[in-house]
Amino acid sequence: MRPLPVAAALALVVPLAGCATRVPVEPAPSAGDPLCAEVVLALPLELGGLERVLTDSQASMAWGDPAHPIVLRCGVEPPGPTTDQCVTADDGEVAVDWVAVPGEADATGAADWTFTTYGRSPAVEVFVPAEVTGTRSTSFLVELGPAISKIPATRHCV
């Protein structure tokens, strides 16, 4: 058997690259903001021990099981003053304020959570499905701090 020429071998490999699972993500209204590009480029390859998964839209990233991923979108509308819970994820070097909004709990008591940065424009949203919150802490938000800090904070939680 003769080896395939390089061009023929590449022709077989390139179609396979297109088979990677991509998570469908609705792009945020300001996904084209240059600060979002800086955030996405600085995001970790793993989040809370979950591997990065490709998405199909600009300024977004996902981690974990493609069927129930953690999804980050940059360029969402910054939240205004709110009575929703505001939490600070602080690793001692970078602190990021997040507005935390739970969804409805499922039969196991787990709920989806949506975290949106507070005091940064454009804002970053992280959706964590019940399949993740039911088995692990959301303390991995601290791991996003260095990337999120590419967008300057102008306000803080009180």
Q: Residues 95-140: pLDDT tens digits?
A: 999 999 999 988 888 899 999 999 999 999 999 999 999 888 889 9
Residues 41-76 have pLDDT tens digits of 999 999 999 999 999 999 999 999 999 999 999 999
Say if residue 111 is exposed, middle or buried (CB neighbours under 10 Å; 0-12, 13-18, 19+): middle
Strand positions, DSSP E, 33-143: 46-47, 50-55, 60-63, 70-76, 85-90, 95-105, 111-117, 123-128
What's the number of domains the chain is made of? 1
Q: In this model, does residue 16 exceed pLDDT 60?
A: no
| pLDDT-derived band at 158, boundaries 50, 70, 90 | confident
Per the domain annotation, does 17 fall within a domain? no
Per the domain annotation, does 109 fall within a domain? yes
Q: Going by DSSP bridges, is the β-strand pair 50-55/22-23 parallel, antiparallel, or unpaired?
A: parallel
Per the domain annotation, does 53 fall within a domain? yes
pTM of this prediction exceeds 0.75 = yes
Per the domain annotation, does 110 fall within a domain? yes
Domain of 123, in residue numbers: 22-148
User: Under a CB-based contact definition with an 8 Å cutoff, are residues 64 and 53 in contact?
Assistant: yes
What tokens were used for 119?
């005091």
Residues paired with residue 128 on neighbouring β-strands, in sequence order: 113
Per the domain annotation, does 92 fall within a domain? yes
